[in-house]
Structure 1
């Protein structure tokens, strides 16, 4: 048998063995569906709700954050508005409004897909509360999908902070989502955050899991 034939047969055998080898399961992550919400500075909280006002907690969230009992109305171009938008606390250094792409169409604004906190040159938006209103020249974004992890979880998943991965929803839609940002901090619990548009398109419900795929897939 010639060398070329041996090489071809060997390759075929190795490929067959690879197909038979059970694949190592990926790292599973529960999903949290993030609805539209607002982050505010203390100055803006007082403008919207009154002098000296402090947000009141409705539900504890990860990383020291909480969903407050307070809600506001966000107003886009041509006075298009969405009411009862939840305010998250505590107060931040800069105010921002996080919406879905569908919300952006409804409001008539061109909100870019950004990581939370990256609001430079983002869409303008107005926020109205019971005691006043504010106008943000920039600050309205569609939040980039991301995964919160503790350092221990990141080590187990083989990923690093700020890295981007792909994840797969193993359901009837079988969707693969790319460009998912990893965010690692001691205060984080394991959860992937997507907005309502993404959840509906992928057929994902709150608490279901997705699987982190191997890098490069």
Structure 2
């Protein structure tokens, strides 16, 4: 199926809307508990149960609009369903807090495995959006693998040693800002290794 383009506003809404909704719902429900079928659930677990279908619907909407989902989007949805489901099933918020660690460690491992084989898996999924020379892709992939590993370690430290409020703030604001900052700091690499096609497009 041919990939179509979503407007920046639609893409931002579908990508960040579920995260913002999670934050808002947690802010209002964190001090409440819910009794379901004789089992008491914390506000965090209840918000997790809300977040899973919202993310699934947003991912489905993205696929319907563009006709395409990246491997990262698919893996993220699968892990959210798996770890969120375990948090609900076992009534234990720790499983959902582990999810970012698993996602970023998995991405770092996949990128690292590709580098050991002398290839950039990042290029395979982002080439259309970010034309670079091969050397540039290899450097960016190495940096991003280390960055993902750092995010995985940061998530482990924060959820294990800090409050749930701190972890929710980190997940909602810290992770997206860190990702934005990472790519902003790669401007020199993009300029140095950008292809002629990239330069001609402005």
TM-score normalized with structure 1 length: 0.24
The structure with the largest strand share of the pair is 1
TM-score normalized with structure 2 length: 0.25
Higher relative contact order (CA 8 A, sep 6+): 1
